[in-house]
Chains A and B, each alone.
Chain A
Amino acid sequence: MIKYKFEEEKDFILHYARELDRPIVVKVIEAGQAVSSEEANALAQFFWDMVDEIVKDKKNGKVVAGQSDLEAWNEYVFESIRSYLRNNGYEQEWENHA
């Protein structure tokens, strides 16, 4: 299961998964795990696309899922997603996009 440091990370990720229209990622986050290499690849690819969106939102001073310090939340979700993929059999899927 994906281990978050803060519960709010989940809503933060789901916001971007919906914004970027990634139903596979929504499913993975809601389930708390990836059940295939395809899902893990989708999550890894999504992470870096999400960073680009966070950077844009930060510049525009947006509040996302109740959070205004977007760079800090980006760092928290980085650790959660990266550690989940690398330590649950999806190291290669993470590296494919890193």
Chain B
Amino acid sequence: MEQFKTMEDLREYVKGLGKFYARPTISGEHPTLYLDHSQGHMVQGIRVKDYLFSPCKQWVIPHDQMGLSFSAHWQHLKDKYRMKTKHADGKAVNVYWVLEAADIPAGLAFIQDKREKQHYLLTVTEQMTVYALAKKLAWVADRMSKITDAGKAL
């Protein structure tokens, strides 16, 4: 299992990945779905404000600036990691990542945030049910690699 103890370890690790999309994730939480019900209005583990939902909340509609948030650069990951750590209440914060070249399910695409080139959104490119999106996000999570925060995990 890959581990890091310091931010310098993490920086070195990330440097060796090439182009990546990453999410710092508090230990025990899911990397792509919100299952703890403390993140506002959610449907099937998806935060309603992250995607463009139909009024009935059964469908997700394509939008190139709405989607799950990912860091695509070390600097963004470092800042997001720091923020996540403050919310972690002493728990470890691990980093899940996927390479830019990796396959992702049809109907999903990583799109750059128009406001910030280091930030990407995992958007939907075709209308789909919320159930289908949740399944696809779970599929992505299953294929993400993980580097563990050994400083807190040990």
CB-based contact A79/B40 at 8 Å:
no
Kindly identify, within residues 61 to 84 of chain A, every residue whose CB is under 8 Å from any CB belonging to chain B.
67-69, 71-72, 74-76, 78-80, 82-84
Query: Which of A14-22, A23-31, A32-40, A50-58 binds B?
Result: A50-58
Give Cα A98 to B83, complex, Å: 10
Give Cα A40 to B116, complex, Å: 17
Q: Which of A6, A74, A86 contacts B87 (CB 8 A)?
A: A74
Nearest residue (CB) in A for B66 is A5
Nearest residue (CB) in A for B78 is A98
Give Cα A6 to B50, complex, Å: 11
CB-based contact A69/B69 at 8 Å:
no
Contact with A along B106-120 (1 / 0, CB 8 A): 000000010110010
CB-based contact A82/B116 at 8 Å:
yes
The total of chain A residues at the interface (CB under 8 A) is: 25
CB-based contact B116/A79 at 8 Å:
yes
Main secondary structure of the interface of A (DSSP, over half): helix
Instruction: Return chain B residues, CB-CB under 8 Å to A82.
Output: 76, 79, 116
Instruction: Return chain A residues, CB-CB under 8 Å to B119.
Output: 79, 83
Query: Distance (Å) between the CB of B31 and the closest chain A CB?
Result: 15
Whether A74 touches B83, Cβ cut-off 8 Å, given contacts A79-B116, A82-B116, is yes
Give Cα A71 to B47, complex, Å: 12
CB-based contact A69/B39 at 8 Å:
yes
B82 at the interface (CB under 8 A from A): yes
CB-based contact B87/A98 at 8 Å:
no
A96 at the interface (CB under 8 A from B): no
What residues of chain A have their CB less than 8 Å away from a CB belonging to chain B?
3, 5-6, 51-52, 55, 58-59, 67-69, 71-72, 74-76, 78-80, 82-84, 86-87, 98
